Structures are given as C-alpha cells and as structure tokens.
Chain A
Amino acid sequence: MLSVKHLLGIKDLRKEDIELIFSQADEFKEVLSRPIKKVPSLRDITVANLFFENSTRTRLSFELAEKRLSADVVNFSASSSSVKKGETLVDTVNNILAMKVDMVVMRHASPGAGVFLSRHIDAAIVNAGDGTHEHPTQALLDAFSIREKLGEVKGKRVVIVGDITHSRVAISNIYCLQKLGAEVMVCGPTTLIPKHIESLGVKVEHNLRKALEWCDVANMLRIQLERQDAGVRYFPSLREYSLQYGLDKKLLDSLSKKIVVMHPGPINRGVEITSDVADSDQSIILNQVENGVAIRMAVIYLLAQRLPRKVM
C-alpha cells in the first residue's frame, strides 16, 4: 500500500511507492488495451477535477483515468467559476466536498496549494501541478515511459533541457528519477537554471551538445511563452534560444549514440524540438501521453484504497 494519503509531490514518496505505482500501471495498461477499457473498482467513489489553471492534456488524462476506473467525475475550471467572484480556495473546495466528493485532483497556480488543502479537508488530494512546485503524475509517467523504452530507470542518464526555473515538471522529474537510481543533469541558459540546483544532486551543463552526448534520455521542456511575454525576458529571442537549445534532426543524428527524446507537451514545434525530431522513431512523446492514463489510473486506484469505506 502507498505510504501517503495524498499525492502532493514526488518528494514525499518512497522508492517502493513509485515501484508499486509502476507495477499497477502495467496492469492498467493491459486494461486499456482490452476491447472494454473499463474496470468497476471505483464505482462508489466521486472525484472532483479542480483546474484553477488551464490544462487540456492533464485534465483529459485524469478524466479518462477516473472514468475507466468507473468513478463518478465532476469537472471544474477556474475561468467559469465563483473563484472569479472572490471565493477562497478552502471555501470553494469545501463547497464541492459538501456534495460528497471523495477525491480531489487539483491544479493551481500557487506552489503548495495541494499541501495547504490537505491540512483543511478530508478528501484524498492528487496534485496535478501547483505553480512552479511539483507535477508528480507527469514525473511518474515520464519515468514509466523511460522504464518501458529502456527496460529500467536505474543507472540511466537523463538530461532535462530548457526552463528549469519555472518548471514543476523538472523538479518532480529530478526527485523521481533520482529515487529510482538514475543520474540527472539539467541544461539551459544560465537565466533559466535556478542557483544552487546542484544541491539537489544534479549536474548542470550549459552546452546542449555536451549534455546530449552524456545522456541516454533527453527530456526537452516546453518554453513557457506566456512567461517570456509577461515582461521579464530570460533570453533575447525565441530564435536565439532555439539556435542554442533547440534539438533538430541534424544535431540528433550527429550524436555518437541513439538517445531517447521526450517532451511533456504541448510542443512549440521549431522552438524546443523541430517537427522531424518530434515525429522521429527516437521520440516517445506519444507513448508518454498514452502512459499518462495508466499511471493516473494506478495513482487514483492506490489512493482510493486508503479512503474509509462508507456503509449505509
């Protein structure tokens, strides 16, 4: 059984928890390949998907996972809610819980929103991204995809390229990969790499070619254009970023070995990676999306086992 009641971040998980999630995700992947892609396990559970920040892929993925476990699902997005009317987070969630919801999947712009909520409500909480803090299910599905492609994660070298400073995917990935025994490097312009990131035990490299020569897997993070436009400019232009840190087919083919290319999506084609790289046989981007549903099913299934059972 999982050692935690909520999935707030990878940092709280033990290696055994991650392995348990993976072993169950294997079985759910099999379920997803059946003609009837649904199991009745969570018939008595209601899940609320609270997305205070925009998301397409993650929300769809969670919703599919919940529906394939036969849970009831209610959706909520901030743009069409009373958050705009000034309601606090705890009030919003308590109102939703009053409608008998057992589990909350939440994405929020503030780091630590999930942790805060877990202290105030009874339902199990799954963090679907909280600001620049963590995005645990993304890290789990990334590591799961590496395990699927390369056999195991232990001993593999993974480089995370791009905007590390603002990336919850990067932080969760670092924790997750390290717990599973992989070596992690971050690569990007100095402005996008947080100071003292070495203290997490990762290598830092500013030259993309060197980083790619070192690694087995390259996880190319999305450049968050909305941050670039917001005023602070972390690099002179997208074109310059793309020249320095973009991965194209020429660079990929010139490497001494075949590396695996990942991307958490959505892709800015021609910025982080070019189209021919994204669609090449070395890319496992669509496998990541596919595995996302299985991983989220495993997480929700395992957390639901820890919920108290209601008897009439």
Chain B
Amino acid sequence: MKSGIFEGRTERVKARLALGLDPTEKMKLIKTNFIFLLRLITFAASMRQITLIDSKLLGLVINRLCHQLIENHDDFNQSVIIGLQPRGVLFAECIVEKLRAIQPKSEVKYGVIDPTFYRDDFRIHGKPLIAHHTDIPFSLEGKRVILVDDVLYTGRTIRSGMEGMLEYGRPASVELMVLIDRRFSRELPVQPDYVGKSVDSYDNQKVKVMWKKDGGEDKVLLLTN
C-alpha cells in the first residue's frame, strides 16, 4: 500500500521543479507535499493503535455511568444487572462494584448470561461457538433489567443475549449499557441506553477492551489491521 502512494511521485516532483516554475507555484508544490507527508504519518500511526480510553478516563466513565444508573433506578429495589459473557462480564463487575461502593445500603442484584446457545451464526463461520457459564440466581419476572456488554457492534450478541435472558422470566423492562458503541455499524435495530464512549470505526478495525483483573492494563484500544 505504501509503495502505491509513493509510486512515481518523487520523479514527478523532481521533473516539475526542474521545469523552472515560478516561486508561488513552487511554494504550492512544497505545501501539498508537506500535507502529503503529514497524512502519511497519521496513516502509519493508525496502522498500530489508538487509545480510546485510558485508565484514568475509564474510572471517570464508570463513575458517570453508575450515577446515570442511580438516577434512573434509585436504590435498585426492582432492578438487576446482567453481564454478557464472556467479555461484558468484566465491565459489568466494575459497574456493580462501583454501584455498591456508592450506595452501600442498596443491594444490587447481579447475574451473568452466556448468549452462545441463542446465536444466529451457529455453523456459519466455521469456528466453534464455545459456551461460557450462565449464572442468574434469581427470577427476572417483573424486574427492570440492565444488560451490560463491553462493545456494541453489529447488535447480534445483544439480540441473542436478550433471547436467552427471557428464559428466566418476563422482565418489566430491559435497558442496554455498553462501554463502547461502534456507531453506524449495526446489523440489527439495537440502541444502547447508556454509553461509555461512541466511536466511528471501519469494519477492518477492532475495538479491544483490556482490564487489569484480566492481566492487562485498564484501557480501550482501536486497532487497525
């Protein structure tokens, strides 16, 4: 790709300079080349990774989301938090931990669900769908459920998670909280109610959420292949 950008360019520039252009024309040429160089540098940088959220910002985001939840759910008397396996659980744990710290008196009910058995891409990708643990030790009948996942992309995982969740009762309402919302890439009509950060991304990019408790550092990266 790089060679494609460079191809013939230096020769073209040399040839045009040699023609003896007037000074303004020369300046214009140098300027466009400078801009071209800048573009190249940003392109090279994007080849690696961009930090969307660092550990300090992550703390703030979690704090904000928790206060938004409290605003809508008060003491969590009728509300429960359900984390989506496998990666959403790590985020959901942070939220639950923070909520319990902010409101020590209210009991925040928390469960995890694995959407694997309800996915619509069973036998499509050729890679196996391996199930993770589901643990919802209470009924969801009449409860206000907050579904928590780390990255919202096509919306298919959320759909399967919701289908699985309905096996545990008919909730009064379901809300969705995500740490990262990859906008404009939905394949199903799914909208989050609480968002940590929205990003615009291409299909060849990947959002990677890392956690300290998972053996990394608390941060979110946008990777480009």
Residues of A within 8 A of B (CB): 1, 20, 23-24, 26-28, 30-31, 34-36, 39-41, 302, 304-305, 307-309
Q: Which residues of B contact A36 (CB under 8 A)?
A: 167
Asked if B133 and A30 make an inter-chain contact with CB atoms under 8 angstroms apart, the answer reads yes
Interface string of B108-147 (1 = CB under 8 A from A): 0000001011110011100111111111000000000000
Q: CB within 8 Å of A: which of B69-126? A: 114, 116-119, 122-124
Q: A31-B134, A36-B167 are in contact. List 20 more A-B contacts (CB 8 A).
A: A1-B127, A1-B128, A20-B130, A23-B130, A27-B114, A27-B132, A27-B134, A30-B134, A30-B135, A34-B167, A35-B168, A39-B117, A39-B164, A40-B117, A41-B117, A41-B118, A41-B122, A305-B128, A305-B129, A308-B123
Given contacts A36-B167, A302-B128, contact A26 B133 (CB under 8 A): yes
Nearest chain A residue, comparing its CB with the CB of B85: A27
Which residue of the partner chain B has the closest CB to A307? Answer: B123
A-contacting residues of B (Cβ < 8 Å)? 114, 116-119, 122-124, 127-135, 163-164, 167-169
Q: Would you mind naming 17 contact pairs between A and B with Cβ atoms under 8 Å apart? A: A1-B128, A24-B130, A24-B131, A26-B133, A27-B114, A27-B116, A31-B134, A34-B168, A35-B168, A35-B169, A36-B167, A39-B118, A41-B118, A41-B119, A302-B128, A304-B122, A305-B129
Q: Which of A27, A34, A304 contacts B131 (CB 8 A)?
A: A27
Min CB distance A71 to B, Å, is 12
* B interface, over-half SS: loop
Question: Complex Cα distance A24/B128, Å?
Answer: 12
CA gap between A204 and B169 in the complex, in Å: 54
- Contact between B127 and A35, CB atoms less than 8 A apart: no
A31 with B117: CB separation less than 8 A: yes
Chain A residues closer than 8 Å to B132, beta-carbon distance: 27
Q: Contacts A1-B127, A35-B167, A35-B168: A305 and B133 contacting too (C-beta < 8 A)?
A: no
Most buried by A among B114, B116, B124, B131: B131
Closest 6 CB pairs of A and B: A39-B117, A1-B128, A27-B131, A36-B167, A309-B123, A41-B117
